[in-house]
Structure 1
Amino acid sequence: MNETESPSQNIKLAPPIAILGVPFDMVMVSQTIDIIGKMIESHRPHYLVTANANFVAQASEDVELRRILFDAHLILCDSTPLVWASRWLGNPLPERVAGSDLAPLLMRAAEEKGWRVFFLGTKEEVLQRAEEKLRAKHPRLQLVGHLSSPFASLLEMDHESICRAIKEAKPDILLVALGCPKQEKWIYMHYRTLGVPVSIGVGGTIDFLAGETPRAPMWMRNAGLEWACRLAQEPRRLLRRYMTNLWVLSSRLLAQWWQLQVRRRRHAARYHRLMVVAEKTEAGFEQVKIPPRFDAAVVREHEWLWKCFVTSPAHLLVDMASVEFIDSTGVGLLIWLHKSLTASNCHFVLVSPSLVAKQALDRMRMPQLLAVAPDLDTAKNMIMERSRDIHAIATLDLSPAPKPLTWHGEIVTSNVEAVKHLTESYMECCVAKPKRIAVDLAEVRFIDSAGVGLMLRIKKQGRLRDMDITFLNPRPNVLNVVRALHLEQYLFGESKQGSQ
């Protein structure tokens, strides 16, 4: 297996299905344990997401959370209603894979295979009880540490000491119980530097392991009614969430079902089964032309082609001009290709999508995260510009009348230290000049919580040095992430009019 190959690719899986833009993998619990084993054998960092209905509802409004899902190595469906929805959308998920069902099986496998386990989150007494119960049931299980995280916002956590404790323990599996979306954002910030082979956000699962919260009876779980049991246990906390989820998911799922399933049946006679056409355009570029119908059947028929794109990665241009119908599996494949090629440092661009394709992608809020170009030449130029952004994350202008410092591309965990170094160098050079520094964000496509944390530190450093640090022209994606962290007013104040 090469360095960019996902362990899940070594197990034959059906194409993923995109439900409201979330690409759920077609796995059962037993397959999930096998995939986790391959991840551990690889000794490379991965993270898994167990997504329930609340998770999907939050992701529909949170750009960073959607990006985390796009980049996840495996997405498990922890919701019976979403399993039902997959049937309506034409590509049924095999079963619900709940974190609370997966964890006990994972602990048993960890004991058998000698995997080292670390817990992060929830209360200290709950962690201790969970460890006591697990040691009694699995005497040879290697529980190498736990850490209770005090209540604090994501950016206020003591990230350095937490990461140091985890690195010293050298676990194979890290279970993070900070609640959604905080746990997923924390994992996304640190999984690469921690080097833990498998990190999973598990929500309240550690409470179940400790016996702190009883699970629903088996008949309720099998009937998809576990949510009712949880609601009876915590009505004040969960009633409003469940009502919001019901409204958001039912309305949007109905719209997705109508557009991507009913439309196909009403106009089935118009669609002809045509082959996907792939060709090389020039060195470093591949082009694929999608036929008028792009559904689960077409995706499965051309499985060999998608594997070729991933095993021999190159920049991929996907011509969608002829698309008259695309279903949830077609969208899921596009996300999977984007994820796989991005992991190989290649770019993925949708070219000239038809009106039908645009409507389907807009319905799932895909254009916020997928690159879209009106024609082939624009797509190639976009790839060239984004390739340059990787090497030029910030532009310094130290002339006598300097322009604002300009950040480029994506400001994320993997490059935040480099951006920090350049920005602090710029601040040092401006000490003797008027103490007003502007950072232009107009060319920043995306920023994650680590990037927002950098903005926060720079703003605070400026105040300590009596400097006025101003961030200008944030794009909607950047504003979305900052708003989710409740820092819009502090970071932008009245300066965000340039983004409107």
Structure 2
Amino acid sequence: MSKFYIDKIGIDITNLQDALEKIIYFIDNKKFGYICVTNSRTVHLANHDDDYLKIQNKALLTVPDGVPLVWIARNLGYKSVDRVSGPDLFPAVLELSKSKKYSHYFYGSTPNTIAKIEEKMKRNYPSLEVKGAVSPPFQPIADFDIDALAVEINRLKPTFFWCGLGAPKQEQLMALLQPKLESTICVGVGLVFEYFAGTVSRAPVIIQKLGLEWLHRLLQQPVKMIRFIKPFMWISVNLFQSFFNKNNPIY
């Protein structure tokens, strides 16, 4: 599949509708893997951590969640690229699941949020099968029992394993788990569980379009501000450089 590059990380040339069509194709053709929903922070992380870069670049799909990534793509001439955010992809797949009979497993967040997700699924998507909903302990990636989790997922056979551990942990877990899975696609969704459960509010649409959703998020979680300073400065430089580079190769 065609990609555009921001330094060393490849981002799929896609948009929400195209991503959904690709996901349907993967499932129909039994091509399973993990999907990275990649924003400015994770692009920065990948370009400064070779192991994390490999995880991102080996994904079944690496979709652009973040307006700056879309702006860079369009500056480079890829006009079909549009944002594929976790909070948009997740409900779109749930809607798709009504006709496709896809099943789901939720993994991450807090027990309270997981309980709210289960309640909302029963209320809003009663026809969809939830194979599992788990809030794992907060722990280093090395402490997760990947083998036991894989056995559980293969026993239940959900179509989608939604991983809401936050980056980079969720991508690290998916990269370890996916090779052991038989018939499941993993998707890393960050704060999507909180948005869906209503424990964190999403920015208004106008703020999203201006590329300032990160600021709205920081106002709700100011303790995380330090994590965004370097990625914000780094992606801003790359955005500026993209104005002058129209010949970025497609791989």
Which residue of 15, 24, 39 corresponds with 1:52? Answer: 39
Displacement of 1:38 in angstroms is 1.6
3-state DSSP of counterpart to 1:249: helix
> 2:237 matched to which residue of 1?
251
For 1:116-173, what per-residue CA distance to the aligned partner results, in whole angstroms no more than 9, with x for missing partners?
1111111122112112112211110111112211011111112233222222211111
> 2:126 matched to which residue of 1?
139
> 1:96 matched to which residue of 2?
83
Which residue of 51, 58, 61 corresponds with 1:64? Answer: 51
> 1:165 matched to which residue of 2?
152
Q: RMSD of aligned C-alpha atoms?
A: 1.8
**TM-score (normalizing by structure 1):** 0.48
The verdict on how the C-alpha distance between 1:147 and 1:111 changes in structure 2, with shifts beyond 3 A counting, is same
Q: Distance in 2 between matches of 1:114 and 1:163?
A: 22
Amino acid in structure 1 at the alignment position of 2:227: R
> 2:29 matched to which residue of 1?
42
- Aligned pairs for 1:259-338 within 5 A: 260-261=245-246, 327-328=247-248, 330=249, 332-333=250-251
Q: Distance in 2 between matches of 1:181 and 1:37?
A: 26
Structure 1 unaligned blocks of 5 or more: 1-8, 10-14, 262-326, 334-500
The verdict on how the C-alpha distance between 1:27 and 1:62 changes in structure 2, with shifts beyond 3 A counting, is same
Amino acid in structure 2 at the alignment position of 1:146: A
Displacement of 1:104 in angstroms is 0.7
**TM-score (normalizing by structure 2):** 0.93
Structure 2 unaligned blocks of 5 or more: none
Which residue of 218, 223, 245 corresponds with 1:231? Answer: 218
3-state DSSP of counterpart to 1:220: helix
Comparing both chains, which one has the higher relative contact order based on Cα–Cα distances under 8 Å and sequence gaps of 6 or more?
2
Displacement of 1:253 in angstroms is 4.7
> 1:450 matched to which residue of 2?
none
The verdict on how the C-alpha distance between 1:256 and 1:68 changes in structure 2, with shifts beyond 3 A counting, is same
> 1:73 matched to which residue of 2?
60
Percent of pairs with identical residues: 27
> 1:17 matched to which residue of 2?
4
> 2:180 matched to which residue of 1?
193
Paired positions, count:
251
Displacement of 1:33 in angstroms is 1.4
Amino acid in structure 2 at the alignment position of 1:246: F
Q: Following TM superposition, where does structure 1 have runs of at least 4 consecutive aligned residues deviating by more than 3 angstroms?
A: 251-258
Query: Contact 2:68–2:211 at 8 Å: present in 1 too?
Result: yes
Q: Distance in 2 between matches of 1:158 and 1:244?
A: 32
* Higher-Rg member (1/2): 1
Instruction: Determine whether 1:176 maps to 2:163.
Output: yes
Q: Distance in 2 between matches of 1:45 and 1:193?
A: 11
Which residue of 209, 214, 225 corresponds with 1:222? Answer: 209
Query: Contact 1:45–1:192 at 8 Å: present in 2 too?
Result: no
